[in-house]
């Protein structure tokens, strides 16, 4: 992957399309509620933007979206926070998959030779290209969900690293994987990992909160999978109501100081997404 700013997973058109589906309204109903023509709404969903700031504000109102964040997306200036305060190191492993990019994350003590791996990407070959050389072993592998772009490389990872405990959401069908009890922290070396069941994008989906046992006051890491992205949310392929409910629950349960490591797009913080994310309102 090339260096440089990491693009958001979704732009304005994607966010409007997801918000429309979430609302359950037809295009015509949103047009009537917002005073924006159906043609302009459909054009925006097709990435042909002809919406002024006032129209985007009215769409935000009709679709119950955060208008500051939606306006920032319209201007191509969605803000991203500085990532600070983690008492351990996080290595995002960004891998191309089809037309998109998916993220896996290694988490461990800075400079340590062992780390925890969250998602594995679609192949070990892609993962290995991004792998920090000093990480030689894994204390655990944690899958957010079993889609190929996030879990497809699991067998190769296991072949490379040998016997490593693998955790996956209940019902995900990952052979040999263990499941974690929701909300109960489990220790892996000096790290504590807590799993949350967060169906919506798919039925079997987990998010993970990672904290340091050595520095419990440091910011935790929230591995969000395809529940929450910087500036957007995952597609609700299983259930839009469930995804909205789980997002709302995570915004309450997870500390605002948490750094968010999403399955796609750049890292962010929960406090920042609460302030700007169109779907966090």
Interface residues toward Fe ion, by CB under 5 A = 226, 263
Provide the minimum distance between the beta carbon of 75 and Fe ion in the complex, in angstroms, as a whole number. Answer: 26
Nearer to Fe ion, 88 or 105 (CB): 105
Under 8 Å between Cβ of 65 and 18: no
Nearer to Fe ion, 139 or 263 (CB): 263
Provide the minimum distance between the beta carbon of 264 and Fe ion in the complex, in angstroms, as a whole number. Answer: 6
Under 8 Å between Cβ of 147 and 204: no
Nearer to Fe ion, 15 or 30 (CB): 15
Nearer to Fe ion, 66 or 103 (CB): 103
Provide the minimum distance between the beta carbon of 242 and Fe ion in the complex, in angstroms, as a whole number. Answer: 17
What does the alpha-carbon distance between residue 145 and residue 147 come to, in Å, rounded to a whole number? 6
Provide the minimum distance between the beta carbon of 267 and Fe ion in the complex, in angstroms, as a whole number. Answer: 16
Provide the minimum distance between the beta carbon of 138 and Fe ion in the complex, in angstroms, as a whole number. Answer: 22
Instruction: Quickly count: other Cβ atoms within 10 Å of residue 76's Cβ.
Output: 10
Name residue 195's beta-bridge partners.
182, 208
What does the alpha-carbon distance between residue 83 and residue 260 come to, in Å, rounded to a whole number? 9
Residue (of 52, 24, 15, 20) closest to 36 by Cα position: 52
| 89 half-sphere exposure, CB direction, 13 A CA radius | 14
Nearer to Fe ion, 69 or 263 (CB): 263
Nearer to Fe ion, 197 or 226 (CB): 226
Provide the minimum distance between the beta carbon of 256 and Fe ion in the complex, in angstroms, as a whole number. Answer: 25
Provide the minimum distance between the beta carbon of 145 and Fe ion in the complex, in angstroms, as a whole number. Answer: 8
What does the alpha-carbon distance between residue 250 and residue 200 come to, in Å, rounded to a whole number? 13
Number of residue whose CB is nearest Fe ion: 226
| 93 half-sphere exposure, CB direction, 13 A CA radius | 26
> Distances in Å between the alpha carbon of 169 and those of 19, 40, 68, 148, 232?
26, 40, 34, 15, 22
Nearer to Fe ion, 127 or 211 (CB): 127
Residue (of 259, 262, 249, 256) closest to 274 by Cα position: 256
């Amino acid at each position: 992957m090339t260096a440089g700013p990491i693009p958001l997973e979704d732009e304005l058109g994607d966010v409007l399309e997801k918000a429309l589906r979430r609302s359950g309204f037809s295009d015509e109903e949103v047009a009537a509620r917002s005073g924006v023509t159906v043609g302009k709404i459909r054009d925006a969903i097709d990435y042909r933007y002809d919406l002024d700031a006032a129209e985007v504000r009215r769409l935000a109102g009709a679709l119950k979206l955060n208008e500051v964040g939606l306006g920032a997306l319209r201007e191509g200036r969605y803000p991203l926070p500085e990532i600070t305060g983690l008492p351990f190191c996080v290595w995002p492993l960004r891998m191309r998959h089809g037309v998109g990019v998916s993220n896996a994350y290694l988490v461990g003590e800075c400079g340590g030779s062992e780390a925890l791996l969250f998602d594995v990407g679609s192949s070990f070959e892609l993962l290995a290209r991004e792998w920090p050389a000093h990480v030689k072993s894994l204390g655990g592998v944690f899958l957010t969900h079993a889609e190929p772009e996030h879990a497809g490389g699991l067998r190769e990872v296991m072949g490379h690293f040998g016997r490593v405990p693998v955790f996956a959401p209940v019902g995900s069908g990952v052979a040999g994987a263990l499941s974690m009890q929701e909300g109960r922290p489990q220790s892996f070396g000096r790290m504590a990992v807590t799993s949350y069941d967060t169906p919506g994008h798919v039925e079997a989906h987990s998010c993970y909160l990672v904290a340091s046992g050595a520095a419990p006051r440091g910011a935790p890491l929230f591995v969000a999978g395809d529940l929450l992205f910087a500036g957007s949310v995952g597609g609700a392929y299983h259930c839009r109501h469930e995804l909205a409910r789980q997002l709302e629950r995570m915004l309450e349960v997870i500390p605002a100081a948490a750094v968010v490591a999403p399955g796609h797009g750049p890292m962010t913080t929960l406090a920042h997404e609460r302030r700007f994310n169109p779907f966090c309102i």
